[in-house]
Amino acid sequence: MPRTTPSVSGTATDDGGGINAANVNAAITNATVGTTATGTPGNPNPVAMGTVGNLIGASATGNAFANSIGAPLNNDATLGVSTNSGVISSSVTGSKMLLESSSLQSGSVVNTDNTISATTTINTGNSVVSGNAAAGPVAPLAGTAVLTYPVGAPIFDAKGNVVVTNLQAAMGASSSATVTGNTVDLMLTANAGNIVTAAAALDRNAVLAVFKGNSATSTAEILSGGAPSFAGSVVVSNLQVNGNGILAATHSATNAGSVITGLVSGCLPAAPTCCRARCRCRAMRSPARPRATRRWAPRPAWRATAS
């Protein structure tokens, strides 16, 4: 585990971050989200069905921090340090985002804007110093952030009137984000003799595996409304470390066996007559053959004669 000796000084300061050595795992298995309709249609009026804007998501994070200073800017400094040596993993397996009906004849069916995702982030941080320019003279280089990493003399020493700094170190074994065998579907099936005239939409759905080693944002905002000008210096920096020089970790994001599918099965308005009305199909047999007729010759008349 790396050793850090952070130091931050100034009129306003914020020193946040974290050290994580534990394994973190987020997993979802065989989850189902959606809309289904079964039975026999009893109402000819249009019906609306929708599976819209849903999420099946597993998210795992090693470290997360947020530093913020909001005041008139005058010798302010923030420093965030995060180190992770644990295994961070997320997974979604065998899950389904569905819209399925065996009874709908007409109307609207929509399966849109849904997401199945696994997201892994080893370190994430956000540091903001925001405010108006201070009135009056500004002392030079008063805000300070100093970082000694991992040992010995400082390798980072920032000085300015406003200093915003993040350091993130991913030092653990292999971490991962995995989605396997998931499905997004829209399925319409019709009972015998029914006609399907529904308007169907299967659009803007996503199955995602997302891996982020380090994610950091550092912001210095000088807002209007204070002094007409800002006289001084601003330092904004992000420092990233992946691996400790000895451990060769192989991180991964894997998306396997995912399916987005639409299926309409049954009688459709544009289908042949024989499909649209099966009862008519059964009646449209070939004409029967004429029965064979057996004709009998008339018997001859017998006459009796006397001799």
Structure confidence by residue, pLDDT tens digits, 15-65 = 777 889 999 999 999 999 999 887 666 555 567 889 999 999 999 999 998
**Gap between the Cα atoms of 121 and 107, Å rounded:** 43
Q: What integer pLDDT is reported at residue 32 of this predicted model?
A: 97
pLDDT per residue as tens digits for the range 73-90? 878 888 888 889 999 999
Closest CA to 196 of 106, 102, 101: 106
What residues pair up with 127 in beta bridges, in sequence order? 67, 218
**Gap between the Cα atoms of 83 and 63, Å rounded:** 7
Residues whose CB falls within 8 Å of the CB of residue 296, separated by 6 or more in sequence, listed in order: none
In a domain, 221, yes or no: yes
Angle at 65 between CA 61 and CA 67, to 5 degrees: 165
Q: What integer pLDDT is reported at residue 274 of this predicted model?
A: 35
Q: What integer pLDDT is reported at residue 122 of this predicted model?
A: 94
Split into its structural domains, the chain has a count of: 1
What residues pair up with 81 in beta bridges, in sequence order? 17, 167
In a domain, 288, yes or no: no
Give me the domain span that covers residue 115: 5-279
What averages of pLDDT result for each successive group of 10 residues across the chain (307 residues)? 63 79 97 86 69 97 90 82 92 96 81 97 92 71 70 72 87 93 91 68 96 90 78 84 68 95 70 36 34 43 39
Do 114 and 202 meet the contact criterion of CB atoms below 8 Å apart?
no
Q: What integer pLDDT is reported at residue 254 of this predicted model?
A: 97
In a domain, 59, yes or no: yes
In a domain, 216, yes or no: yes
Query: Amino acid letter at 96?
Result: K
In a domain, 232, yes or no: yes
Q: Other CB atoms closer than 10 Å to residue 153's CB: what's the count? A: 6
Q: What integer pLDDT is reported at residue 266 of this predicted model?
A: 63
Closest CA to 96 of 13, 160, 31, 45: 31
In a domain, 24, yes or no: yes
In a domain, 121, yes or no: yes
Q: What integer pLDDT is reported at residue 115 of this predicted model?
A: 98
In a domain, 157, yes or no: yes
pTM, full prediction? 0.76
Per-residue tokens: 298: 């008339």
